[in-house]
Amino acid sequence: MVMQVTCWILGLSLLCLSSLAQSAPFSVAQEQQPAALTENLLLLQDPEQKLNFSDILSPEQKQQLQPLHGHSPNFGFTGAAYWVAVTLHNPLPVQRELILRQDYPLIDRLDFWYQDSSDQWQQVATGDRLPFVSRVLDLRDFVFPVTLPANANRTFYFRFATEGALNIGLSVSDPTAFLSQLALEQFLLGIYYGGFLVLVIYNLFLFIAVRDRAYVYYMGYAISYGLYFGVHNGISFQYVWPGSPWLANQSLVILLGMTLIFGIQFARTFCSSRLLAPRTDRMARGLLYVIVPLTVISPFVNYGPTILSLALLTLVVAVLLLAVGVISLLKGSLSARYFLVGWATLLVCVIVYMLKTFGLIPHNAITHNAFQFGALLEMVLLSLALGARVNEIQKRGYIDQLTGLYNRGYFDQRLPRELANATVTGAPLSLLVLDIDHFKSINDDYGHARGDAVLQAVGRLIRRLVRKPVVACRYGGEEFALLLPRTDCAAAQVVAERLVREVAQTDFDGLALTISVGVASTEPSVDLSAPEFFELADRALYKAKRNGRNRYVVADSSIANSGVMLSVGNV
């Protein structure tokens, strides 16, 4: 009795296992839109690649074909071949013409078997290790037109084998829906590669203008990436070298290596990592010592190990250069914000793509294109970062390093612009020129270090008291200049009065200071050049000094009128 129960349970278990090996046919709709066949696939791994099609048709091997049970049909870098069977069901009383598509073109060898009208098996042998003419249709992906008899099932077989990542992305659609999808994809790819081209041309003009080496590395990085994705998408094999399967494979490795090389060099130059992050810079150079030889020898060694090594190095490079961006930002580089966001975006997208490649997440339009989308978005952000870097460098050249205010060069450039704007708009413009009283005696009595500390303290006080649109500059020595756009003479006097009072009331580390200020404002009836306008304020300043210091004097075009600040205290 126990033996009978055991046999009954064993038989039931075998029946269940047999049912698990069955995958429901895909029922084709009347107007079939592109649909993934992942849930309808049966797969068999062939580790030693010894099985042939006759073996697969044998009852023993057919039983070995197993459904995915929710797993992803992505197997990463594997030396095995995979046999795939899929059954389509036509519920309609008419014959159907359909399109089967494998949407990942980087497959070395893809064999397809179908039954013709006389039910004889026919084979199509294609793949990127064969010339492009082996494709049934002249398209970047593998596309197979098939016929489905009325009210019937048809089973189709595939054999996948490749040295690179093995991703199975089979779908079915009717020809009309397929052509619509293809037109949309071509349109989006045109925009995608057009975006790369625009970025390269735009940054080429910027390089001609500013002659910054970072732009050279950026353009090399963008061009390498664009060409890499041209190979990755199958476009290069379709249009550039359809007769050279060797180039179709090796170009992918070479271009990925070049992308990493240019990316590292761009990051090192952009972030000045040799100065700001020497340890991380040494690590980046160490990666170059690995990637450059690997790229050079890649045409002469096996494709599989090389592309796997570079794929893993891509992840390492993305993490390392993200760290370079963080260090650069912490060291005060504001343009590193764009750089950091760009590399963080790429890192996330690379991780998504790698997870898809190794079968940890499904193969779909989002995961398959994540790397490409992330690369283009990164290119845009890095272009913005370059622009911000140029502005930052220019601004740094106009900043007085001691006080943090704008310097004389910036003032000389800004004053004519503000005067011209005031003339065109009729808006008032005022200028304050101020000088620290008896500053020379501070240097003589306390030393230049103490004098520098006083200048820094006065600079901080000015920054605290004035707000945009006021432009505060250190004009030279102990002299400062403040441009006040859209400010008339009365309002300028309020600012001057406050500056004189605040300086006199502030304790500068045991020193009591005062300042003298000359105020000049534009008048609609008087047309002044920039030197003449500055001379008005400067003459008013020296009149304030002659009148006893610790005050301001207002000038008109003839220095006829002057206002004197209430004396707050004498130095």
DSSP category for residue 519 = E
Other C-beta atoms closer than 10 Å to the C-beta of 182 total 19
| Contact by Cβ (8 Å): 166, 75 | yes
Helix axes 175-210, 365-397, angle to 10 degrees: 10
Q: Is 478 a catalytic residue?
A: yes
Residues 6+ positions from 42 with CB-CB distance below 8 Å: 21, 23, 65, 66, 67, 84, 85, 86
Report the alpha-carbon distance of residue 76 to residue 107 in Å, rounded: 12
* CA terminus-to-terminus distance, the chain: 117
Backbone angles phi, psi at 294, to 5 degrees: -65, -40
Please give the Cα distance from 471 to 493 (Å, whole number).
16
Options 378, 418, 478, 497, the catalytic residue: 478
Quick one: tokens of 232?
Answer: 């990755």
Q: How many other β-carbons are positioned within 10 Å of the β-carbon of residue 505?
A: 10
DSSP 347-367: HHHHHHHHHHHTTSS--SHHH
What residues pair up with 83 in beta bridges, in sequence order? 44, 159
- List the one residue out of 351, 339, 350, 328 whose CA is nearest residue 379: 339
Tokens 């707050």 belong to which residue? 568
C-alpha neighbours within 13 Å on the C-beta side of residue 510? 5
Which residues carry out catalysis?
Answer: 478
